Amino acid sequence: MSTLRISIGEGDHIQGREGAPITLVEYGDYECPYCGAAYPMVKQLQEAMGDNLRFVFRNFPITELHRHALSAAMTAEFGAAKGRFWEVHDELFENQTRLGATLYDTIMTKLGLPASELHDALERAIYQERIRGDLDGGVRSGVNGTPTFFINGRRYDGPPEFAPMAKALARLVEA
């Protein structure tokens, strides 16, 4: 069983309280259909587990398969730089079939963020190193596809479905 090689730190995208007994880390790709299917499941887990769950999202764009994966990840990182990562993250997954410049502009307008600054960031690839750090950490942790989940630092190899994941998480709360 693989373990998470890169500790969770202040540079991570985190939802939930720091002292939660369970930390769920996802390595994901905004264009991956399996990540798109897992997105509502993660929301459901967060709702079901409440304060017992802390969720961390790390970028793992598979650019060989998904032509918008990197630009979507950079758009999310632009949102993070503006303090709006989770809003952009949600919009990208909720509109996954429309990824591209038009959607990114729509998201920026909706959130009141400067689309021109996003265009400049994408053109200059200023978030590429940040994303590469997530990718490298994923590879070191044994990630070879998306979504890949880690529960309290150990890779979850079961199906990315609500019932089995909720059961795995509940066992940790009861322990």
Band of pLDDT at residue 172, cut at 50, 70 and 90? confident
For residue 8, the model assigns a pLDDT of 97
Domains of the chain: 13-174 (3.40.30.10)
Share of the chain above pLDDT 70, in %: 99
Instruction: Give the E-state strand segments of 1-101 in sequence order.
Output: 13-15, 22-28, 53-59
The secondary structure of residue 4, as a DSSP letter, is: -
For residue 1, the model assigns a pLDDT of 66
Q: What are the CA-CA distances from residue 16 to residues 4, 23, 50, 71, 112 (Å)?
A: 19, 9, 8, 26, 25
For residue 143, the model assigns a pLDDT of 97
pLDDT in tens, 136-145: 999 999 999 9
Task: Tokens for 61, please give them.
Answer: 């764009």
- Output the average pLDDT for the chain: 96
pLDDT in tens, 18-77: 999 999 999 999 999 999 999 999 999 999 999 999 999 999 999 999 999 999 999 999
User: How far is 6 from 141, CA to CA, in rounded Å?
Assistant: 8
pTM for the whole structure: 0.96
For residue 61, the model assigns a pLDDT of 98
User: How far is 171 from 74, CA to CA, in rounded Å?
Assistant: 36
- Asked if the bond preceding 147 is cis, omega within 30° of 0, the reply is yes
